[in-house]
Amino acid sequence: MNPLRHHGPPRAVAIVGGGPAGLMAAEVLAGAGLAVDLHDAMPSVGRKFLLAGKGGLNLTHSEAFAAFVARYGAGRGVLEPWLREFGAAQVRDWAAGLGIETFVGSSGRVFPLEMKAAPLLRRWLQRLRAAGVRVHTRHRFTGFGAADAAQRRRPPPLCFATPDGHVQVQADAVLLALGGASWPTLGSDGAWVPLLQAAGIDVAPLQPANCGFDVAREPAPGRAIPGWSEHFRARFAGTPLKGVRLAWRGADGCDTSRLGEFVITATGVEGSLVYAAAAAIRDGIAADGHAEVTLDLLPQRDAAAVARVLARPRGSRSLSTHLKARLGLAGLRVALLHELLPRDVLADPARLAAALKALPLRLAAARPLAEAISTAGGVRFTALDAGLMTRSLPGVFCAGEMLDWEAPTGGYLLTACFATAVAAAHGVIGHLARG
């Protein structure tokens, strides 16, 4: 006998948020025989999921588990058990259950064979509706109503603003999957933060993650001007820099480097290499007012060999001609040297050779949160129990990006959203079975 149903009709669970975490939680809860109502502020669910899949939906990553969980940095300790239960293999199995075949790309990332998000979301919603999940759109969460003091294990009612006015919804359990604040036009606007704080739930400040940064130029001692020079910006904004190695130091003092590419923007840099280092860069700026990373513009060449090449006299040739002839450097790479290095370094072959292998790039500020791919900060894990139920509001659970963790792009974000949703759904099931 199902302990959730033997006292009468199915127990009711209200989910707030129709992104990947909310939808995954709905699937698990409906599969347990619960009556699930999912509420979302937008006219349709899964909008961020669809946009993320426009260039190819990156579901997860195929690398070994030890390397996979290391991508979560400081959040690894709390996320690892949930990722063991629902990680990359389970994501692929889940997609296969929807009839969506996946493949591993050259970078190890996992994509649907069709590369698109829409077919997967369409089949997913069909399965959820068949399981009895009721979806309520245009329901904007506005906070909690007065709790029933006589039922301590029952959550307070949820308040929503709808086209038909304000409504309250009472459920036996609540699961919040409200996302971050990096996609405000798609509904992830962080408006939930003060609502949860008012209910006594501790929330770490939301910050941009997987974001671009503004560069800091110092044309004179003590005077930093964000952004590139006008000449550099006009010529290279929007240009990718490929096949370089970015190196940075984390808050733990450990040095990390990665080979890849990023893009020059009007004010600084963005792209996959920058996103990989974003947490360390952001923390460095918070601590010191700036952060410095280094670029190896010639990662396939040995430092000593580069030094020997540049030690040869260049005669009457310009520096740009010399670098192109001797090292194959041209275009953006040479422009970066002129943009970032003082004249005396450019004129010194030994120092220039060192800079080619470790070109310092000083970053002054993260781009605004609304421009970021994802969000750092959120509901602190200390505010939740082992089942992801809030300590201040019994019966209210949290999942997904609204929790205080972050990860680089590459399928890690979506996988952890799924994993925390499964964990929170199991927490709901256990809570209701006990009560």
CA-to-CA distance for 226 and 214, rounded, in angstroms?
Answer: 6
429 has a pLDDT exceeding 90: yes
Average pLDDT of every residue of the chain: 91
The larger pLDDT score, comparing residue 274 to residue 227, is at 274
Of 222-231, 327-336, 338-347, 387-396, least confident by mean pLDDT is 222-231
CB-based contacts of 130, cutoff 8 Å, min separation 6: none
DSSP secondary structure string, 321-384?
A: HHHHHHH---THHHHHHHHHS-HHHHT-HHHHHHHHHSEEEEEEEEPPGGGSSEEEEEE-GGGB
CA-to-CA distance for 152 and 393, rounded, in angstroms?
Answer: 9
Structure tokens at 77: 């300790």
How open is the CA angle 209-215-220, to the nearest 5 degrees?
Answer: 150
Chain-centroid distance of CA 282 in Å reads 14
- Of the pLDDT bands very low, low, confident and very high (cuts 50, 70, 90), residue 1 is very low
Fold classification of 12-209+376-434 (topology level): FAD/NAD(P)-binding domain (3.50.50)
CA-to-CA distance for 152 and 5, rounded, in angstroms?
Answer: 20
pLDDT at 130: 97
pLDDT at 3: 53
- Per residue in 275-286, pLDDT (tens digit) is 999 999 999 999
Domain residue spans of the chain: 12-209+376-434, 213-366
| Average pLDDT of the residues in 406-411 | 91
Going by DSSP bridges, is the β-strand pair 359-366/213-220 parallel, antiparallel, or unpaired? antiparallel
- Of the pLDDT bands very low, low, confident and very high (cuts 50, 70, 90), residue 101 is very high
CA-to-CA distance for 236 and 230, rounded, in angstroms?
Answer: 10
Nearest Cα neighbor of 73 from 363, 248, 276, 367 is 276
pLDDT at 307: 87
Beta strand ranges found along 191-239 (DSSP E):
203-209, 213-220, 223-226
- Per residue in 50-92, pLDDT (tens digit) is 887 777 899 999 999 999 999 998 899 999 999 999 999 999 9
pLDDT at 86: 98
The sign of the dihedral angle between the CA atoms of 340, 346, 351, 354 is positive
CA-to-CA distance for 145 and 169, rounded, in angstroms?
Answer: 9
Query: How would you classify residue 38: left for phi > 0, otherwise alpha for psi between -120 and 50, otherwise beta?
Result: beta
221 has a pLDDT exceeding 50: no
How open is the CA angle 403-406-411, to the nearest 5 degrees?
Answer: 110
CA-to-CA distance for 186 and 132, rounded, in angstroms?
Answer: 26
pTM over 0.85, yes/no: yes
Structure tokens at 261: 């590419």
Ranked by mean pLDDT, the top range of 143-157, 271-285, 419-433 is: 419-433
- Per residue in 388-406, pLDDT (tens digit) is 999 999 999 999 999 999 9
| Average pLDDT of the residues in 6-10 | 69
CA-to-CA distance for 55 and 69, rounded, in angstroms?
Answer: 25
